Amino acid sequence: MNAPIRILPELTPENTPFWTGGERGELMIAHCDACDHAIHPPELICPVCLSRSVTPRAAAGTGVIHSYTVNYQPWLPNLQVPYALAVVDLDGEPGVRLTAQMQGIDPESVAIGQKVRVAFVQVEDVWIPEFHRIDG
């Protein structure tokens, strides 16, 4: 079976570190150098203090599922269903939630409060984050 068609993000100066950090196994989150506010989605200007000094930093890559949904609709050709999309509170990144597909787990087994770790799948020139449950 062919891989599903993916709609890929346009790479911009502010989001390129996020979408390419997976090449090194790093989940890159923008931070304000002036006030240390974590900024996601990434922006060039801090929304808190308006500083233009924003730098991407590698996050821990772990977190806890805040919410999730299980999709049963094949929206794109060759899309494998069902699959779970999780909204994850990232460890060490206060206020940052990342939405990504869960992998390596039965979608019906996903639950709020589960610990997860990021991994990446490369599609063309971007590395898409996905989450795997941390057992234990």
Could you count the other beta carbons within 10 Å of the beta carbon of residue 61?
21
Q: Which CATH class is domain 16-133?
A: mainly beta
CA–CA distances in Å: residue 47 to residues 2, 6, 38, 40: 42, 30, 10, 10
Query: Tens digits of per-residue pLDDT, 73-102?
Result: 998 888 889 999 999 999 999 999 999 999
The reported pTM is: 0.90
pLDDT tens for each residue of 3-50: 556 789 999 999 999 999 999 999 999 999 999 999 999 999 999 999
* 46: its two tokens: 């801090």
